[in-house]
Amino acid sequence: MSARIHRVERLECPVEACDWPFARTQRAAIAAHWKKLVAEKPALFDGRVLLCRAPRIENGVYRATYFETDFSAFIAWRDFGFPDAAVFNGFAMAALRSSDGAFLLGEMAAHTANAGQCYFPAGTPDPSDVRDGAVDLAGSVARELEEETGFAMDEAQVDPLWTIVEMGPRIACLRGVSVRESAAEAAARVVRHMQRERRPELAGLRAVFGMNDLARLTTPDFIGVYLAHAFAQPG
């Protein structure tokens, strides 16, 4: 699958009501699929999430219109092979990097929908991320980073620009976040954070110092695209 990479200054993501034909016409199939998933992973929760339509990049700005749907509909759309090509999963991530140059990926815990997958702290946007009628993806990044790892944005060096990776139905909006800890120190800090959580989302933190380290991990394709791009940059 081909990918496109962009650097943008800001994100504009208004929320509008939408009658999603997939969610309406496939209601029975979605319910059956969700029932099967919950039987395997009882901790799954069918909350509300935000997907997007009409994504575009213009004059250094990422724009997309977001709409609300059930998490079960989103998961079915994903697992059924993304049957509605007009809809995209547009989410934000903190591209966490240690002081010794490693990118730090979280390995998702066994009880999550993406168990075993390794990627940057992130989450599907939800209604709690909406501010003044628009999705606050910067706020989503900050929230997910702190919830999953214990790191806060105000203690890190944050890239003023976003890196957008467009890859099929996924649009990853990544923001570089560099911490003062080494990879080993950051991993130990995350373990301490996890020990305070009743049901942590992560199984641990995995350090990637170069593309060879990625081969031992299970990651979404866009993570490899981003890391190859990032490691190729000077400095």
Q: Does 203 have pLDDT greater than 80?
A: no
CB atoms within 10 A of CB 164: 21
Q: Does 198 have pLDDT greater than 90?
A: no
Q: Does 195 have pLDDT greater than 90?
A: no
Give domain limits for the chain: 4-231
pLDDT band with cut points at 50, 70 and 90 for residue 113: confident
pTM score, whole prediction = 0.90
Each residue of 205-216: pLDDT tens digit?
A: 899 999 999 988
* CATH superfamily of the 4-231 domain: Nucleoside Triphosphate Pyrophosphohydrolase (3.90.79.10)
pLDDT score at 30: 98
Each residue of 142-191: pLDDT tens digit?
A: 998 998 888 999 999 999 999 999 999 999 999 999 999 999 999 999 88
Q: What one-character-per-residue DSSP string does 144-196 give? A: HHHHHH---GGGSEE-SSEEEEEETTEEEEEEEEE-SS-HHHHHHHHHHHHHT
**Side chain identity, residue 69:** T
pLDDT score at 25: 97
The whole-number average pLDDT for the span 72-101 is 96
CA separation for the pair 6, 56 (Å, rounded): 11
The dihedral through the CA atoms of 186, 191, 194, 195 has a sign that is: negative
Output the average pLDDT for the chain: 92
The whole-number average pLDDT for the span 137-141 is 92
Q: Are 149 and 107 in contact (CB under 8 A)?
A: no
Name the 3-class secondary structure at 49.
strand
pLDDT band with cut points at 50, 70 and 90 for residue 235: low
Q: At what angle do helices 137-149 and 183-195 cross, to 10 degrees?
A: 80
CA separation for the pair 218, 199 (Å, rounded): 22
Structure tokens at 105: 């990926």
